[in-house]
Structure 1
Amino acid sequence: MNRNDIITLLDRVRQSNPLIHNITNDVVMNFTANGLLALGASPVMALAKEEVADIARMADALVLNMGTLNQEKIESMILAGRSANANGVPVVLDPVGVGATRFRTEAAKKIAKEVRLSAIRGNAAEIANLLGEHWSIRGVDAGKGNGDIMALAKKAAEKWGGVVIVTGEEDIITNGEQSFLIRNGHRILTKVTGTGCLLSSVIGAFIAVEREVLLAGAAALVTYGVAANIAAEKTTNEGPASFQVEFINQLSKVTTEQVEKNASIEKI
């Protein structure tokens, strides 16, 4: 994978305007929709059991985000996921807060069992707890852990047969055989709620235009991180709210030249 691959995929997202069906949490819905629009994708945020299968069938990608979870939303996710699987629509799971409660952990495992997933994106604690391994978690944030994150990601990819993305200070993406380490992004992302959730949807937008999921996911991570880097530089003396607005701006404005210059991706 090289920088030209990333640039090509960013252009394809902007040109094709993929429809991304998000069953996501209430806290981040507006931010996610605006971020996808800025990138060049088209969001739909349908949740009702009565229509999710129809919407998923029409979409170019489906993103399942477990942030604000209830039983009805779990049912909607499974209905939409099955419809997406039947119609060749890629599915991304964001297992927010898995490990924090038994309800949340069991729900994530049920979704992963019943829906064929193209990609799973979470922090190390979420991925570990989805695998049934111990890793501390506080609310929806990863706590301290002593595990080998690369080994964890590969084990998860082998179990689910898809691509696993573990995000943190550095991002790891793997299909179990090939892996990349990505060092774009900025720590201020952790000061704005929903940036991880939006990233999962951005990954969905890239997978919508490129079915080689490892390539698409890596391109999404780099593009997202470069936009965050630029936004952080422009708001250095301001706070998280200013960064949030500028980040949406940069998702819309980030150029292929900026991606080529600033991409930090290493095959490992």
Structure 2
Amino acid sequence: MNPFEKVLSAVRQKRPLVHFITNYVTANDCANITLALGGSPIMADDLREVEQIVGHCSALVLNMGTLSERTVQSMLAAGKEANRLGRPVVFDPVGVGASRFRNETAEMLLHEVRFDVIKGNSSEIAYLAEGSGTTKGVDANLDALSTEGNLNRHADRARKVSARTGAVIVISGPIDIVADSHEAWAIRNGHPMMAKITGTGCMSAGVIGCCVGANPQALLPSCACAMSVMGVCGELAYERLLPVEGGSGTYRVFLMDAVSRLDGVTLTRRSRAERLRI
């Protein structure tokens, strides 16, 4: 069985419970894509319960999309408890580099919580690597997106952040990059239509949470599988969209459908994941 098939099969068999402290814009999408893949989501962000909820879960996903003082404290408490219990923690530093509050929050969480996976767009990871970067709100600067021409530079940056944090680094973009301090992978799946709906990055973090929650002993291949799942399903959704002349709303539904119907054979056949020479 292909490694990605094993990861997907484990998700479907184990049905990992994924705890999200995420933003209110995409919470529903994150919950639904988790269910579509085969996991089970719980959205709990009150400080009075987050530690107890973490104890029931297979993985924790922390997302900075709509920060508040309240959720920052909840993220800190949940992250520390997940570390204590040995649960994988996925960090999505949405919009870091856009404001002092986001920058200080990301720095504090990176100092206080041990992250197993850090997933961001190219601008967010650039900020974590170098303390600088240009963002467009919570989106990556278009000039900073990963391409064939700058792929090695982005991979080196991801490995640098991994070496410093101990986390697997995922850079989402036209070409996704998944790296630890020793190796890097490029995933060339996906479709530009994915950028036309809000939340595909947040949904990717949820898919990662499912995959590492079911396969905590294999973080890097689980992350590469997760990004392949999103990319392949983005392609399948667009192929289904064309005959009905649908738009972005229909595409969002078709993306969810594709994740729920995805099987290991299709994932293996369509995945364009490549280990990079470094």
Same fold (TM over 0.5): yes
Residue 133 of structure 1 aligns with which residue? 131
Match of 2:264 among 248, 256, 265: 256
Deviations along 1:34-83, one digit per CA (max 9) or x if unpaired, are: 11111110000001000001111211000000000011101000000000
Match of 2:241 among 219, 232, 235: 235
Residue 179 of structure 1 aligns with which residue? 184
Match of 1:209 among 201, 208, 214: 214
Whole-angstrom distance in 2 between the partners of 1:9 and 1:214: 11
Alpha-carbon contact 2:159-2:183 (below 8 Å) kept? no
Alpha-carbon contact 1:23-1:77 (below 8 Å) kept? yes
Alpha-carbon contact 1:105-1:130 (below 8 Å) kept? no
Whole-angstrom distance in 2 between the partners of 1:48 and 1:12: 30
Q: AA paired with 2:47?
A: K
* Per-residue deviation, 1:130: 2.1
Whole-angstrom distance in 2 between the partners of 1:258 and 1:87: 35
Residue 159 of structure 2 aligns with which residue? 154
Residue 169 of structure 1 aligns with which residue? 174
Match of 2:47 among 49, 62, 76: 49
Whole-angstrom distance in 2 between the partners of 1:195 and 1:24: 13
- Of 138-147 and 193-202, deviating more is 138-147
* Per-residue deviation, 1:132: 3.7
Equivalent residues in 2 for 1:1-268, closer than 5 Å: 4-143=2-141, 144-145=143-144, 148-211=153-216, 212-236=218-242, 237-268=245-276
* Per-residue deviation, 1:176: 1.3
Q: AA paired with 2:82?
A: A
Whole-angstrom distance in 2 between the partners of 1:73 and 1:96: 14
The secondary structure found in structure 1 opposite 2:274 is: strand
Q: AA paired with 1:229?
A: E
Whole-angstrom distance in 2 between the partners of 1:86 and 1:145: 36
* Per-residue deviation, 1:134: 2.2
Whole-angstrom distance in 2 between the partners of 1:74 and 1:57: 19
Q: AA paired with 1:42?
A: S
Gap regions ≥5 residues in structure 2: none
- Percent of matched pairs sharing the same residue: 39
Q: TM-score, normalised by structure 2?
A: 0.93
Gap regions ≥5 residues in structure 1: none
Number of aligned residues: 266
Whole-angstrom distance in 2 between the partners of 1:257 and 1:206: 17
- Of 3-12 and 183-192, deviating more is 3-12
Whole-angstrom distance in 2 between the partners of 1:80 and 1:134: 28
Deviations along 1:79-106, one digit per CA (max 9) or x if unpaired, are: 0000000001000000000000011011
Say what the alpha-carbon RMSD is for the aligned residues. 1.2
Alpha-carbon contact 1:18-1:42 (below 8 Å) kept? yes
